[in-house]
Amino acid sequence: MIQHEEYLLQKDTKKTSIKQIFLTNKTTSSNLSVINGLQSITPVIVSAIEQLTSRQDLCSLTLVSWLKILDSVEPLLKHSCAWCPYCYQVWREQGEVIYIPLLWLI
């Protein structure tokens, strides 16, 4: 199994690990913008994560597809995270996976 820290993303001639990308973004909102489609590296990261997880549908969980329609998806995203404490509580009580729905970021 490939560790994500070691998985190198190749964009142009620069090699960068997934870990390096997320360590350079010090805030949660910066990291969310990277993975949700605000930067040119996003499709590369999504592709790498798809390979690491053997999934082929992770792109649909981001805003990458909207970049074809809009010049930028940045105006769509909030600058701070929103959440539903009740949703987290229900998910925890039901033993479900805890995550941040993309809808909460728009």
Band the pLDDT of 2: cuts 50, 70, 90: very low
Tokens of 53: 């997880």
**pLDDT tens sequence across 58-104:** 888 887 777 777 666 666 666 677 788 999 999 999 999 988 887 77
Band the pLDDT of 4: cuts 50, 70, 90: very low
Q: Identify the pLDDT of residue 14.
A: 54
**pLDDT tens sequence across 22-62:** 666 665 556 666 676 667 777 888 888 888 889 898 888 88
Tokens of 95: 């033993």
**Rounded mean pLDDT, 17-21:** 66
Q: Identify the pLDDT of residue 33.
A: 65
User: Per-domain residue ranges for the chain?
Assistant: 8-105
Handedness of CA 24, 30, 2, 59 (dihedral sign): negative
Q: Identify the pLDDT of residue 5.
A: 44
Burial letters for 28-58: b for 16+ Cβ neighbours within 10 Å, e otherwise? eeeebbbbbbbbebbbbbbebbeeeeeeeeb
Task: End-to-end CA distance of the chain: give it in Å, rounded.
Answer: 34
